[in-house]
Amino acid sequence: MKRIVTTMLCGFYLSCAAAQHVSGQYITDGHWDLKKNVNWVNLLRLNLSITLGKGSVEAATIHVAQTDHSVIGDWQGFCNIDAENTLAAIAVLGYMHQWDNAHLFAGVRNVNEDFFTSDVTALFINSSCGIFPTIAASYPIANYPLSGLTLYFDVTKGEWTFRNSLYNGVGYKGWKRHDNPFLVRPKRDGMFNISQLEYAHRGARYFAGVAIHSRQFPVGSDSENSSSDASCDVSKNHDDDAPARHTSCAWWLYGEQPLWTTDGKAVLGMVQYSENTNRNSTCYRYAEVGCAYRDDRNECGLSGQYARYYNGTEYSAEVTWKHKLTESIALQPSFQYISNSDGNYTVASLRLYFDF
């Protein structure tokens, strides 16, 4: 069944390529713990946009392949593309209507499409830079590589933007009857809503947001894995134990400010903080500070993170450098040091991006 679906999707992309916008990105990432453990992760994303009236039909699929599991015992997930091998999963599929200052989307989508990521956080490889573990590790939501039925809208007025998404309370990535992103099961999965207010001015960006879930899921015994893996672990427990009908929320603040700019070069500072209101959540507090340098060909960054989990505290630091070899190819080495109650870890990675 998966092979049939993949063949149909490829055919659909190719048939529309001549008249519509088709793009994609391939990322290959090698990991080494500076000892004997290595892993090789590959991610392919294909995007399609078909203009229809005052909007567009949007589709995106993700395809993941890796040689082994994570090379270290960190909790947040040091690699933001690390996931189980996936032949083909839907990341986006639906209709986006556009006005001069607003958008409305209905269909399958995940939280990474619209929230959390900024120019600075997108540079770093650690999973928590893409979505706060107070959310990703505590709820089995539509977070990479999972997706779910979504109603999303945003409105922009001047330098202010408001975004809101309502999701099915659990994300899925399969093609089976009880595991597919088209499911809507509010009685069992609950509902999940994200609201975020943004302000942008002269290169500075500030976010404030809140995420509310109508269910409280049991803390998984393996939830100290990566934020994306933790989300999947909670989902597995969700299949065995019905979640409690208890509403909780997580809130966050984010600030990104240029510190120095001249002739196409800039240094930016970043700080973010998040809490979950339920202390029984897998992760209930997170903070990060960092800075990045940027010019036409290079991006360099340094960040430090703190995450308070139900079973302890994890500290991590990352230094990375992304260099554009051509307009479509970039190379990025990264080094991370991570410490938690299970041990101290170091990991080096080398990532290659290819956009087409």
pLDDT of residue 219: 81
Return d(Cα 157, Cα 254) in angstroms, integer: 20
Q: Which residue has the tokens 């700019």?
A: 261
Using one digit for the tens of pLDDT, what is the confidence trace for 48-102?
A: 999 999 999 999 999 999 999 899 999 999 999 999 999 999 999 999 999 999 9
pLDDT of 220 > 80? The answer is no
Burial tier of 92 (Cβ tally within 10 Å: 0-12, 13-18, 19+): buried
pLDDT of residue 242: 72
Q: What is the pTM (predicted TM-score) of this model?
A: 0.88
Using one digit for the tens of pLDDT, what is the confidence trace for 117-170?
A: 898 999 999 999 989 999 999 999 999 999 999 999 999 999 999 999 999 999
Domains of the chain in start order, with CATH, are 105-355 (2.40.160.10)
Return d(Cα 26, Cα 199) in angstroms, integer: 31
Taking the CB of residue 111, how many other CB atoms lie within 10 A of it?
27
2 pLDDT tier (thresholds 50, 70, 90): low
Cis before 243 (ω within 30): no
Q: 219: helix, coil or strand?
A: coil
pLDDT of residue 237: 41
Return d(Cα 172, Cα 185) in angstroms, integer: 12
Average pLDDT over the chain, rounded to whole?
A: 90
**Rounded to the nearest 5 degrees, what angle is found at the Cα of 145, between the Cα atoms of 123 and 1?**
145
| Pairing mode of beta strands 160-168, 265-276 | unpaired
Average pLDDT over residues 244-249: 90
For residues 200 and 159, the answer to whether their CB atoms sit within 8 Å is yes
Average pLDDT over residues 263-287: 95
